[in-house]
A and B are shown apart, each in its own frame.
Chain A
Amino acid sequence: MIKVENIQKSFGDEEILRGISTVFEKGKTNLIIGQSGSGKSVFLKCLLGLFKAEEGLIYFEDKAIQNMDEDQQRDLREETGMLFQGGALFDSMTVEENIMFPLRMFTKQKKSEMQARVNEVLSRVQLEGANKKYPSEISGGMQKRVSIARAIVNKPKYLFCDEPNSGLDPKTATVIDNLIQEITHENNITTVVVTHDMNSVMEIGENIVFLKFGKLVWQGNNDEIFKTDNEDVTDFVYSSDLFKKIRDVQLKENS
């Protein structure tokens, strides 16, 4: 569980996050959504500790990251997996070396144990046999899956995903969404996904936080988001023609 209390962050005179408080629950896929410029990525970077918030506290379980010393923060990061927008795989390493990297850095496992774990997670993301390929030799969707494998190989407590579907076709995007959700449930991880993809919202939005101009304006799940009267949310959700048409059909049926 991650609890956020009154997080504020500015760059110069510009306020990016204006007092966000929320809870990201364990064993659920928690989504942060909102338009570009709403502060989603800055919020995620604050959660990850890459940006320091000027005000507020972020609790991982019962400990605030702001009150942790360097060693505690490093331990926390070892318990954290991250899926970056572009995958962020190390170009100079093979798929296997990429996935093994966190194990080599943070564990004292033998090579054979690490190899077994790598094969296990590769199998989990359905990439058996891709061990010796380089990131440049595999597709974008496969890179995302390798990135997920690397994020979960060290059995993290927290999984963060930054726009996991960007640049992917709808079918592959759904595969990635489902994979994230399945892994979250299987391992009882606290997962936080930043996205503006409404398909992801529909597929895996178990707890959705909607941001606008750095403020949390709505929170709910993927059922509630289509029923809410909140204008900011409906503006965002029904900005796509597809969702507008679905809503019109539903309204016609209801009337």
Chain B
Amino acid sequence: MRYLRDIGSYFLMIKRIFGSFTKGSVLKELIFKEIEDLIISSLGIVVFISFFVGGVIAIQTALNVNNPIIPKSLIGFATRQSIVLEFAPTFMSIIMAGKVGSLITSSIGSMRVTEQIDALEVMGINSLNYLVFPKIVALSLYPLVIGISMFMGIFGGWVAGVYGGFSSSTDFIAGLQDDFQVFHLVYAFIKTFVFAFILATVPSWQGYYMKGGALEVGKASTNSFVWTSVLIILANYIITQLLLS
């Protein structure tokens, strides 16, 4: 029963986000601030993780392919497929659920605890539009982050493959180009848009409707990570079933 109520309240929240809008000039500033907090500040960790995970994928593929019949280009091919189809869009989003999701929940939750959200409401401001809409807009740039993640993952694979002595650069690049389907990129970016919406709204819901004090803000942040991850995994399955099968 509680879950049904929560789902209902989530969709009502979505409706209210797009209700009465905050003044344009203020909204513009908020959007730029959110782009900095949610997108730009995440680039460092995204680049770091993607580069090394790409490298690990290349090494593991190389170590598991000992048969001389199998071409060395498979290393590049496997790295590309793993990074583009799953690692960058899905697993990077789960990592972002920890980084961005916790930030969103704790910042909105702290505002709830310290009555800052009540202050907005008393002033006649649609607090959900003021707080959540700029996050949704900022996270619409999230595919850009995932694009960078894809590039860095493949680059990490190339560095590990070539400089680790597992593959020549020519073989690796041939593998990257082998059986390339543009639709796989389209599929990955469609997923990314859906995950971006989940990343913006689920942690916001957790923070906005939390009750209690500082301890509950921590609990809400944990719940936020758990539920955002669960929904990303579920959405991933559904989208994959719909688009790839």
Which residues of A pack against B, CB within 8 Å?
48, 50, 70, 73-78, 80, 82, 84-86, 88-91, 101-102, 104-106, 160
Per the 8 Å Cβ criterion, residues 84-122 of B in contact with A are 110-111, 114-116, 118-119, 121-122
B25 to A, closest residue via Cβ: A104
**Interface residue total, chain B, C-beta cutoff 8 A:** 17
CA separation between A91 and B119, bound complex, in Å?
A: 12
A80 to B, closest residue via Cβ: B122
Q: Is the CB of A50 within 8 A of B23?
A: no
Q: Is the CB of B23 within 8 A of A104?
A: yes
CA separation between A48 and B22, bound complex, in Å?
A: 20
Q: Is the CB of B115 within 8 A of A84?
A: yes
CA separation between A52 and B119, bound complex, in Å?
A: 17
Q: Is the CB of A85 within 8 A of B124?
A: no
Q: Is the CB of A105 within 8 A of B23?
A: yes
Could you list 30 A-B pairs, sorted by A, with CB under 8 Å? A48-B122, A50-B122, A73-B124, A76-B124, A77-B122, A77-B123, A77-B124, A78-B124, A80-B122, A80-B123, A82-B119, A82-B123, A84-B118, A84-B119, A86-B115, A88-B114, A88-B115, A89-B116, A90-B111, A91-B111, A101-B123, A104-B23, A104-B25, A105-B22, A105-B23, A105-B26, A105-B123, A105-B125, A106-B123, A106-B124
Residues of chain B contacted by A86 (CB below 8 angstroms): 114-115
A-B pairs with lowest CB-CB distance, top 9: A77-B124, A88-B115, A88-B119, A74-B124, A82-B122, A84-B115, A88-B116, A78-B124, A48-B122
CA separation between A106 and B23, bound complex, in Å?
A: 8
CA separation between A29 and B85, bound complex, in Å?
A: 65
Residues of chain A contacted by B23 (CB below 8 angstroms): 104-105
Residues of chain A contacted by B26 (CB below 8 angstroms): 104-105
> Which one of A50, A70, A106 lies within 8 Å of B118 (CB-CB)?
A50
CA separation between A102 and B22, bound complex, in Å?
A: 12
A89 to B, closest residue via Cβ: B116
Instruction: Tell yes or no: B20 within 8 A of A by CB.
Output: yes
CA separation between A101 and B110, bound complex, in Å?
A: 19
The smallest C-beta distance from B178 to any residue of chain A, in angstroms, reads: 49
The smallest C-beta distance from A2 to any residue of chain B, in angstroms, reads: 15
Q: Is the CB of B118 within 8 A of A88?
A: yes
Residues of chain B contacted by A104 (CB below 8 angstroms): 23, 25-26
The smallest C-beta distance from B108 to any residue of chain A, in angstroms, reads: 12
CA separation between A102 and B213, bound complex, in Å?
A: 27
The smallest C-beta distance from A126 to any residue of chain B, in angstroms, reads: 22
The smallest C-beta distance from A130 to any residue of chain B, in angstroms, reads: 19
Q: Is the CB of B20 within 8 A of A74?
A: yes
CA separation between A86 and B20, bound complex, in Å?
A: 27
The smallest C-beta distance from A215 to any residue of chain B, in angstroms, reads: 26
Residues of chain A contacted by B124 (CB below 8 angstroms): 73-78, 80, 106
The smallest C-beta distance from A227 to any residue of chain B, in angstroms, reads: 36
Known: A70-B20, A84-B118, A91-B114. 7 other contacts (CB 8 A): A86-B114, A88-B114, A88-B118, A89-B116, A91-B111, A104-B23, A104-B25
Residues of chain B contacted by A48 (CB below 8 angstroms): 122
